[in-house]
Amino acid sequence: MTAPTEEIAAGGARAVPARLPRRARLERRRARTAALFLAPALLVLVVFVLWPMVNAAWLSFTDAGLIGGGEFVGLENYTALPRDDRFTNALGNTVLYTVVTTPLSVLLALAAALALNRRLRGRGFFRATFFLPFVASLSITAIAWAFLFDPLVGALPAWLGRLGLELGNGVRDPELAIWIVMFVGIWRNVGFFMVMFLAGLQSIPRELQEAATLDGAGAWGRFRHVTLPLLSNTTMFVAIIAVIFSFQAFDQMYVMTAGGPFFRTETLVMLIYNRGFDNYDMGSATAISWVLVVLVLVVSLAQLGYFRRREVRY
């Protein structure tokens, strides 16, 4: 009895070393194959993302112009920002734009998703209509909106005038310009966020809605206690993306107002463009860009922590 057992054990002991190298070779081959497939994407990320970020970080500590190097000035570009009236004005405009457009975009997108998640005639047409502004060129649509709001040739001032409402000078009005560009930004992003909410709504098990109905919950009760909690992950993603979009607002301001009137619609991204490509001050421009990066990162992490505490799994 002992001899066969010893032979089996010996055979097993001899077989293990024979299998391990083959498995190790297979794993290494798979790792090399994966690395070859990932190499082009990693190369693109290094060349077009990582290296520009590192270079921008270095430029923010210099007085570099648009072309050529520049001398190292340390933190001078950063310490000068709190005393820069245009920077504080652009920061205030950016924060105001974000605080107003983010919640409105998210709420309107959620309302549209709830309405278009039902069975109704022409649902596909309405979904495409809401989503179309996001895929259209914002520069082109911003030109159209600028004409629509123009007090001389625009259709909106004429229609509102018949109702006794006045739009003043449209985008040339210092008090109205920021609100008009906010309206265009919300109009553009609602459809994109609506599609995300639709995906989240359709992933909720129907059995949970039916169980809530059997328990006597009405439409508001099902939304509050079933739909909204189970949309927490989608809401987190949409809210973070909405904040990032708002901090990066540029196109409609550049086309419709060029930052005016009197810098009332100049955002941080517009100021970065102005410093870098109009004033040729790349040191200051990159310093502002890194302040924007840190600001977006801090706000996004705060949102992530807030929603993580309310995350629902099912």
User: For residue 70, how many other CB atoms are within 10 A of its CB?
Assistant: 15
Residue 2: per-residue pLDDT: 47
Residue 15: per-residue pLDDT: 47
Residue 169: per-residue pLDDT: 84
Peptide bond before 82: cis, by omega within 30 degrees of 0? no
Residue 106: per-residue pLDDT: 96
Q: Is the dihedral of CA 25, 27, 33, 36 positive or negative?
A: negative
> Which pair of tokens denotes residue 19?
């299998």
Residue 43: per-residue pLDDT: 94
Residue 107: per-residue pLDDT: 96
Of all helices (H) and strands (E), which one includes residue 209?
Answer: helix 206-214
**Cα→Cα distances 114→119, 172, 272, 274, Å:** 11, 37, 39, 41
What's the length of the chain?
Answer: 314
| Mean pLDDT of successive 10-residue stretches along the chain, which has 314 residues | 47 49 83 92 93 90 82 92 95 96 96 90 89 91 91 84 81 90 95 94 85 82 85 92 94 90 93 92 93 94 85 66
Residue 132's nearest CA partner among 144, 147, 118 is 144
Radius of gyration for the chain, computed over Cα atoms and rounded to the nearest angstrom: 28
Q: Check: CB of residue 193 under 8 Å from CB of residue 133.
A: no
Could you give the CA distance from residue 101 to residue 86 in angstroms, rounded to a whole number? 22
**Cα→Cα distances 208→79, 196, 232, 269, Å:** 55, 20, 16, 45
Residue 6: per-residue pLDDT: 46
Predicted structure pTM score: 0.84
Residue 314: per-residue pLDDT: 61
